[in-house]
């Protein structure tokens, strides 16, 4: 699936922080009028801020746009997703939430029969594209309200759909992880994530090392409810968690 021009602009902003009209014209091979219109639409959606001659990322403290977060630590996220797939077995039913790390699962799902329940249109589309019409992976969407700019289905309808299922695994992303538990910046998906945890036999949280030691806005669950933490490298906090939780939680490292 070719990224939209808006997604391409957000990717460029993730790399540089600020993007001028002239630079965007050269890199995206679009007219100045088109780029200015795109900048205006992204600013109206609250994804960027206008500056003289261009745009910049939203101010620190606001939740970054999805496509901006996708390209942050992208290589680590893909390796984490690959490591997480080692947990899966043929015939598993899996909840997968709509985070930027769990999105990478679409690119590395193993050749197993899997049933995937998700609230992410992006993830569903990416898996469908990779499946090439084969029926190895069955995809179930939760339904619900499509939250603007996120491709996530949220709200009471999404939650009501989740409780109809029981899964072998819940594979979840996180905005922060501390000794108090796992957190998310997007309060609209927290209830869905809690239900995925409740209705799954086992829970694995996929998060790169930048998430450890940081709180996000909403608490999802205590570490006692997590079976695996899949990350890219050991940190002081992962060592502390391992010692405190002993056999109750396991770490999988991608490197």
Identify the band that residue 237 occupies on the pLDDT scale cut at 50, 70 and 90. Answer: confident
CATH number of the CATH domain containing 10: 1.10.10.10
Residues 91 and 132 in one domain: yes
Burial class of residue 199 in the structure, from the number of CB atoms within 10 Å of its CB (0-12 exposed, 13-18 middle, 19+ buried)? middle
Residues 90 and 167 in one domain: yes
Q: Model confidence over 216-236: pLDDT tens digits? A: 888 999 999 999 999 998 888
Residues 52 and 34 in one domain: yes
Q: Model confidence over 142-191: pLDDT tens digits? A: 988 887 677 889 888 899 999 999 999 999 999 899 999 999 887 778 99
Residues 45 and 119 in one domain: no
What average pLDDT does range 95-117 have in this prediction?
Answer: 93
Confidence (pTM): 0.73
Per-residue pLDDT at 63 exceeds 80: no
Residues 156 and 81 in one domain: yes
Question: DSSP per residue over 214-225, as a string?
Answer: ---SEEEE-GGG
Residues 174 and 225 in one domain: yes
Which phi and psi (to 5°) does residue 43 adopt?
A: -65, -40
Residues 23 and 111 in one domain: no
Residues 85 and 147 in one domain: yes
Per-residue pLDDT at 73 exceeds 60: no
Domain count within the chain: 2
Question: DSSP per residue over 177-205, as a string?
Answer: EETTEEEES-HHHHHHHHHHHHTEEEEEE
What integer pLDDT is reported at residue 5 of this predicted model? 81
Burial class of residue 172 in the structure, from the number of CB atoms within 10 Å of its CB (0-12 exposed, 13-18 middle, 19+ buried)? buried
Identify the band that residue 61 occupies on the pLDDT scale cut at 50, 70 and 90. Answer: very low
CATH number of the CATH domain containing 117: 3.40.50.1360
What integer pLDDT is reported at residue 47 of this predicted model? 67
Where in the sequence is the domain holding 55, given as residue range(s)?
5-68
What percentage of the chain carries pLDDT values higher than 70? 88
Residues 64 and 117 in one domain: no
Looking only at the bridges linking them, the beta strands covering 228-231 and 200-206 are: parallel
Residue bearing the bigger pLDDT, 143 or 5: 143
Residues 122 and 239 in one domain: yes
Residues 51 and 124 in one domain: no
DSSP secondary-structure letter at 53?
A: T
CA distance 191 to 47: 24
Residues 174 and 122 in one domain: yes
């Amino acid at each position: 699936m070719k990224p939209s021009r808006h997604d391409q602009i957000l990717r460029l902003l993730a790399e540089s922080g600020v993007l001028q009209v002239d630079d965007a014209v050269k890199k995206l091979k679009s007219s100045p009028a088109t780029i200015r219109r795109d900048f205006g639409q992204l600013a109206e959606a609250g994804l960027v801020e206008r500056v003289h001659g261009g745009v910049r990322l939203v101010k620190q403290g606001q939740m970054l746009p999805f496509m901006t977060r996708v390209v942050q630590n992208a290589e680590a996220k893909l390796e984490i997703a690959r490591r997480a797939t080692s947990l899966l077995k043929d015939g598993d039913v899996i909840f997968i939430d709509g985070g930027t790390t769990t999105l990478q699962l679409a690119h590395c799902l193993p050749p197993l029969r899997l049933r995937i329940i998700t609230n992410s249109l992006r993830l569903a589309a990416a898996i469908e594209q990779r499946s090439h019409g084969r029926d190895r992976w069955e995809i179930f969407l939760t339904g619900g309200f499509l939250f603007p700019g996120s491709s996530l289905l949220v709200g009471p309808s999404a939650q009501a759909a989740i409780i109809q299922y029981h899964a072998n695994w819940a594979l979840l992303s996180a905005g922060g992880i501390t000794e108090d538990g796992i957190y998310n910046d997007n309060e609209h998906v927290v209830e869905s994530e809690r239900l995925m945890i409740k209705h799954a036999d086992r829970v694995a949280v996929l998060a790169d090392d930048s998430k450890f030691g940081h709180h996000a806005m909403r608490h999802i669950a205590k570490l006692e409810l997590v079976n695996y933490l899949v990350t890219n490298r050991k940190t002081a906090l992962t060592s502390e968690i391992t010692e405190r939780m002993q056999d109750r939680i396991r770490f999988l490292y991608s490197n």
